[in-house]
Amino acid sequence: MATILDGKAVNQQIIDELKPRIAALAESRRPPGLAVVLVGNDSASEIYVSSKVKTCRELGMRSEEIRMAESSTTAEVLATVQALNADFGIDGILVQMPLPKQIDSRAVLLAIDPAKDVDGFHPFNVGNLVGNIPGPRPCTPAGVMELFRRYGIGLKGKRAVVAGRSDIVGKPMAMLMMHEHATVTICHSRTVDLEGECRRAEILVAAIGRTAMIGAEHIAEGAVVIDVGINRVTNRDEAIRLTGGNPARMAGFDKRGSIVVGDVDPVAMAERASAYTPVPGGVGPLTIAMLMSNTVGCAERSLG
pLDDT of residue 189: 83
pLDDT recorded at residue 212: 95
Q: What's the average model confidence in pLDDT over 204-221?
A: 96
* 265 labelled catalytic: no
Domains detected in the chain: 28-115 (3.40.50.10860), 139-285 (3.40.50.720)
Return d(Cα 298, Cα 292) in angstroms, integer: 10
The catalytic position among 91, 96, 117, 171 is: 96
What tens digit of pLDDT does each residue of 247-276 get? 999 999 999 999 999 999 999 999 999 999
Cα–Cα distance for residue pair 219/231, rounded to 1 Å = 20
pLDDT at 141 > cutoff 90: yes
Of 113, 117, 119, 263, catalytic: 119
Mean pLDDT of the chain: 95
Q: At what angle do helices 236-243 and 247-256 cross, to 10 degrees?
A: 160
Q: What are 84-87's contacts with CB under 8 Å, separation 24+?
A: 84/35, 84/37, 84/116, 85/111, 85/112, 85/113, 85/116, 87/33, 87/35
Report d(CA 145, CA 143) in Å as an integer.
Answer: 5
Please say if 119 is a catalytic residue: yes
Whether the model clears a pTM of 0.85, i.e. scores above it, the answer is: yes
The predicted pLDDT at position 287 comes to: 93
CA 251 to chain centre: 27
How do residues 20-60 score in pLDDT, each as one tens digit?
A: 999 999 999 999 999 999 999 877 777 778 888 889 989 99
Average pLDDT over residues 159-174: 97
